[in-house]
Amino acid sequence: MSVQIIHVTDPADPRLADYTNLTDVELRSKNEPEKGMYIAESTTVIHRALRAGHRPRSFLMAEKWLPGLEEAISAVGLDDGPGGTGEPVPVYVAEPAVLESITGFNLHRGALSAMHRPVLPSVHELLTTARDGQGARRVAVLEDIVDHTNVGAIFRGAAGLGVDAVLVSPRCSDPLYRRSVRVSMGTVFQVPWTRLESWPGGVEELREHGFTVAALALSDDSLTLDEYVARGDERSAFVFGTEGHGLQRSTLAAVDHVVKIPMAGGVDSLNVAASAAVVFWATRA
């Protein structure tokens, strides 16, 4: 076994710095990308991250969760991720009360792992290599979505309904933030994604790759989702906006079409994650 199991009793142990104050959204959102890492929470998510080829910096768990991860941990090898130590990956084991003092919450979903953050591909690379090198045909674009739960839920819908890739705007929440990863059930590791350098400037880049760009919003000249599907566009990029204010006017002016999901019962729209799932289902191959 090429990992080292270390029993810890002090929540202030400096070796556990990756795991401290995990409930502080602002701190983690800034700290994790800068350190080139993210947190995978639960045995299911950790297994999916490892299967996707992500490299762990360390693990943190209660003793009872070790047997369920022992085989996967044994196969890890050395910490050879970006900026890794080259040493055996440490597995920190502690009592539940100590774990809660470290993380700020009751760790009842199993283990945590601090993972090396993979290098994101360029937009061109993402769009041309998706679908096993055949090129993406359906893409979701997330504009400034700030709720980590919604980001994770959209990724889960994208994975389950066969969306080829996800693009996130410069101000969109981090898909690898702990809550996003957990809500996605680790599917954020299997859907290719990257961050746009500019938005809505990225609309033109999508067009250059042959995409029709459709924004989900309400407008007087919008197409219904059924009408859009009937067009039969070969490649479509669907843009979903932030929860409170929707899409920017500049985005609506830049896209090819505005698309709406017809509603009943006096409801004007769905939650953004629900809207995305409806679109993904309606446009499935």
CA distance 217 to 155: 20
User: What phi and psi values does residue 180 have, to the nearest 5 degrees?
Assistant: -60, -45
What is the reported pLDDT for 24?
A: 82
The dihedral sign for the CA sequence 126, 128, 134, 135: positive
- Per residue, the 3-state secondary structure of 3-22, as one string, reads EEEEECCCCCCHHHHHHCCC
CA distance 195 to 167: 6
If phi > 0 it is left, if psi is from -120 to 50 it is alpha, else beta; for residue 30 that is alpha
Start-to-end CA distance of the chain, whole Å, equals 45
CA distance 105 to 107: 6
Query: For residues 71 and 65, is the Cβ–Cβ distance under 8 A?
Result: no
CA distance 52 to 188: 10
Question: Residue holding tokens 């407008």?
Answer: 219
As averages over each run of 10 residues, the pLDDT of the chain (285 residues) reads 82 94 80 90 92 94 91 84 83 93 82 94 96 94 96 98 98 93 94 97 97 93 96 97 88 97 89 97 92
Name the DSSP letter for residue 285: -
**115: which residues sit within 8 A by CB, 6+ positions away?**
37, 38, 39, 40, 49, 54, 55, 56, 57, 81
Closest by Cα among 153, 256, 189 to 45? 189
pTM score of the predicted model: 0.91
What is the reported pLDDT for 1?
A: 45
CA distance 9 to 99: 9
